[in-house]
Chain A
Amino acid sequence: MNPVRWVLCSFVAAYCAYAQTAGGQTSQTQSNDPFAGVAPAATPQDSNGEPAHSWLGNFFSDNFGFRGELMSLFDSDLDGSGASRQSIGFEALKKFSSETSTIASFDFQARLVRRDGYNPIPSDMEGAGNPGWSFEVHNLYLDLYNVFNPLMGDGARRKQIGRFNVRIGHFYVPFGLNLQTDTHATLLQLSNGDNFGFDEDWVAGFWGAINKHLHYDVYYLAGSGHDLKFKGQKGLVAARISLSNRYTSQYGLEGGLSVIGGDRLASAAGAAPMTGALAPLRTERIGIDGRYRHTAPNGSLAFTTELSGGRDAFDPVVMELHQAEYLRSSRRWGIGSQFRRFYRDGGGTTASATAEFTWYFRNDVAGSNLHWIKLNIERQLESVGVPPHTILTLQYYLYR
């Protein structure tokens, strides 16, 4: 045989033998692989519930959230002066969308409150002027997202997304950390209550991302606190620059710089609580704030600070708040402590130190399912007009 032909024949024979073996192995592997031939379902199941047919049905089933709320609170100073606050409330949230975009959301949170007696605790500043039954609005606002989208093409939308959003309604005063901290039901409050006499107001303004590092808020505020009323005040203008979400996510860090100025309604004493005759008060503040969250053995620690200064009319004011919290990783219990001090030249100083223990039955991370008992003790270190007291508070709270 020709040597070349012999080599070629040998090669072909060897290849055929290999191919047969390899093919055999492949088919054997396929037959042993239980997932051979398995593919994603071609016809996905319709997993949504029965569609609502009416406009009203759609409204309450599509992107609609509803929560009920129950709170029972008792507090007393060491002289036996007791007070009770019982409330029942709700929160409703609705988002509105087009085919390709969420364009607005509406939030309404309110409660019916019954108060008997009153002690001036930070979580109930508005209680001083509302004995007995009252209906309180906490959140009542409309957010409009990317409001200039209708005026822009796709290229501009891509660049400006998240930058120009509008909020109008009743919400936290955009000063300090309160915009990003839900203190609706907590006993430990941030500094705006002491600083302005209210921590929520009627607002209208813009918010959004400046860039990947910074976020902005610019608002006009009525300056009247929880109830919308105009008694000669011009209102306030507030601006805040804060760190974007990536700092919270990656470093556990929140922080910002806030300024506010204009007229607000205030009691004769100028400071909280807002009771008696209210009159316009020229107000200026600048503040810096920060919160740092870090893992700790079997849990996490959070340190919060708010510092601000400015003037009420011609009187210099200084506010400081420092807070430390520990939350067990099981989220079953937590402890917290806080020091707060408000000084106004000519108006005296209020200061207190607080310690708190919380037992959580439910403590959903997103705050959408909460159930707790809190025991809080506040030692007033300085006060205006009355001797400093020690106030003990027991709170039961359910939100689901």
Chain B
Amino acid sequence: MIRVLSLLFLWLAVATQSAFAAIGCTLTNPAEDLKYLYPEMTTYKEQLESFPKLKDGAAAFQGLRARLGSDLDPIYETYETPYTIYTIFKGTVKIGVVHGVNVPGKGGVIQVFVAADPNSGDIVNFFFQRLESPAARQLRSKEFRAQFTGLTLGDFYKHDYYAAADPGARGDKLAAIKPPALDAAGKPDYEAALRGLRKNLILLDYFVYGRRFEPYFERAHQALTKAKE
């Protein structure tokens, strides 16, 4: 029996190295939530994704930090972290993509979900499934969230340049977002929510859109480097 147990331990050690995660940041009740976002939907499909499944996944994960603009959290943002992508259909026509991520907030976890156009990658809606924060009411407000409709990951990358080199530029759509009225205790969670939204869009770009917004990241990076010179 000791031999059996040793083999099982060895198998476990090997298996967990290559294991693909069981679940990620999922909708607790996908049918209900997706119907709320897409009343015309008829079916939805779940797809489990992770960096180890990507071609050059390790390199993509290394690049996540640069695209996010901040360090990765060792609990919430590991190489093995699984992600669930929901694709929404009306009949046989793809009408939406929904994806959620976890980010650490001041009071605990913040789960940021994005509903995006399956073709353009535009934000159609974004919402919080779980939001342990003193600023929860303000961040959940429709008025605040509606300001992000129509933005893309490209706008986030562009903002990196504009905020540093050309503040107030007309092309900086993110700078036009009016933050909710928050006290000092709520501001870290506002920042965390924006970071979650950005992370969500980056991951969607990796897993769904084939990195179609990469030209914006590269141009922002080049322009910032040039501006610093």
On A, residues with C-beta under 8 Å from B are 33-35, 38-41, 44-50, 61, 63-70, 88, 90-93, 95, 97-102, 112, 114, 133, 145-146, 149, 154, 157-158, 161-163, 208-209, 212, 215, 244-246, 248-250, 252, 293, 295-296, 298-300, 327, 329-331, 362-369, 400
| A34 in contact with B36 (CB, 8 Å) | no
**What A residues does B40 contact at CB under 8 A?**
158
Q: Which of B9, B32, B57, B209 has the most CB of A within 10 A?
A: B32
| B31 in contact with A209 (CB, 8 Å) | yes
| A100 in contact with B32 (CB, 8 Å) | no
- B130 at the A/B interface (Cβ < 8 Å)? yes
Provide 18 A-B residue pairs closer than 8 Å at the C-beta atoms, listed in order of the A residue.
A34-B161, A34-B220, A35-B158, A47-B206, A47-B210, A48-B54, A49-B55, A49-B57, A61-B53, A65-B19, A66-B19, A90-B12, A100-B45, A102-B44, A161-B31, A212-B36, A245-B32, A364-B78
**What A residues does B36 contact at CB under 8 A?**
212
- B91 at the A/B interface (Cβ < 8 Å)? yes
- B148 at the A/B interface (Cβ < 8 Å)? no
Complex CA–CA separation, A362 to B30 (angstroms): 26
| A35 in contact with B216 (CB, 8 Å) | yes
Complex CA–CA separation, A48 to B140 (angstroms): 34
What is the total of A-B residue contacts with beta carbons within 8 Å? 233
| B22 in contact with A65 (CB, 8 Å) | yes
| B15 in contact with A66 (CB, 8 Å) | yes
| B45 in contact with A41 (CB, 8 Å) | no
Interface residues of B in 207-226 (CB under 8 A from A): 207, 209-216, 219-220, 222-223, 226
Complex CA–CA separation, A100 to B214 (angstroms): 28
Question: Besides A33-B169, A295-B108, A366-B82, 17 other CB < 8 A contacts?
Answer: A40-B209, A47-B207, A61-B53, A63-B48, A65-B82, A67-B19, A68-B13, A101-B89, A146-B43, A149-B43, A158-B42, A162-B31, A212-B32, A295-B133, A329-B107, A366-B26, A366-B102
| B222 in contact with A100 (CB, 8 Å) | no
Known A-B contacts A47-B206, A249-B28, A369-B78; the reply to A65 vs B57 at CB < 8 A is no
| B32 in contact with A209 (CB, 8 Å) | yes
On B, residues with C-beta under 8 Å from A are 1, 5, 8-9, 12-13, 15-16, 19-36, 39-48, 53-55, 57, 60, 75-76, 78, 80-82, 89-92, 102, 104-109, 111, 120-121, 128-134, 136, 140, 152, 154, 158, 161, 169, 171, 206-207, 209-216, 219-220, 222-223, 226
Taking CB as reference atom, which chain B residue is nearest A157?
Answer: B42
| A365 in contact with B111 (CB, 8 Å) | yes
| B211 in contact with A44 (CB, 8 Å) | yes
Taking CB as reference atom, which chain B residue is nearest A65?
Answer: B22
**What B residues does A246 contact at CB under 8 A?**
32
| B5 in contact with A100 (CB, 8 Å) | no
| A158 in contact with B41 (CB, 8 Å) | yes
| A44 in contact with B210 (CB, 8 Å) | yes
**What A residues does B46 contact at CB under 8 A?**
63, 95, 97, 102
**What B residues does A365 contact at CB under 8 A?**
25, 76, 102, 109, 111, 130
Complex CA–CA separation, A215 to B106 (angstroms): 31
Known A-B contacts A48-B53, A101-B44; the reply to A34 vs B22 at CB < 8 A is no
**What A residues does B102 contact at CB under 8 A?**
365-366
**What B residues does A163 contact at CB under 8 A?**
31
Taking CB as reference atom, which chain A residue is nearest B28?
Answer: A245
Complex CA–CA separation, A299 to B120 (angstroms): 38
| B48 in contact with A95 (CB, 8 Å) | yes
